[in-house]
């Protein structure tokens, strides 16, 4: 699935560029929000990809939405 990976990297590139303008000089935050987890084996953060490519994201219930905003996706809120 090389084409899929190529598209994900392209989306990540545009997303990272927008983060650099929003949070200049905050490389740690940008790294944490990247769609690609860097390391020995690069991993795609699929949940982050879904957030970046969506207009809105919500949980099943208000409690679930609140938990998502306070824990897993607090950087995106």
Say how far apart CA 60 and CA 1 lie, in whole Å. Answer: 31
Please tell me the pTM assigned to this model. 0.85
What are the residue boundaries of the structural domains of the chain, listed by start? 2-70
Say how far apart CA 26 and CA 11 lie, in whole Å. Answer: 20
Give CA torsion, residues 49, 54, 60, 66, to 10 deg.
80
- pLDDT tens profile 19-54: 999 999 999 999 999 999 988 998 999 999 999 999
């Amino acid at each position: 699935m090389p084409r899929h990976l190529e598209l994900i990297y392209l989306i990540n590139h545009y997303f990272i560029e927008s983060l650099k303008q929003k949070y200049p000089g905050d490389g740690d935050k940008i790294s944490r929000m990247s769609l690609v987890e860097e390391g020995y084996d690069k991993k795609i953060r699929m949940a982050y990809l879904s957030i970046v490519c969506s207009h809105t994201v919500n949980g099943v219930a208000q409690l679930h939405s609140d938990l998502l905003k306070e824990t897993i996706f607090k950087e995106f809120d």
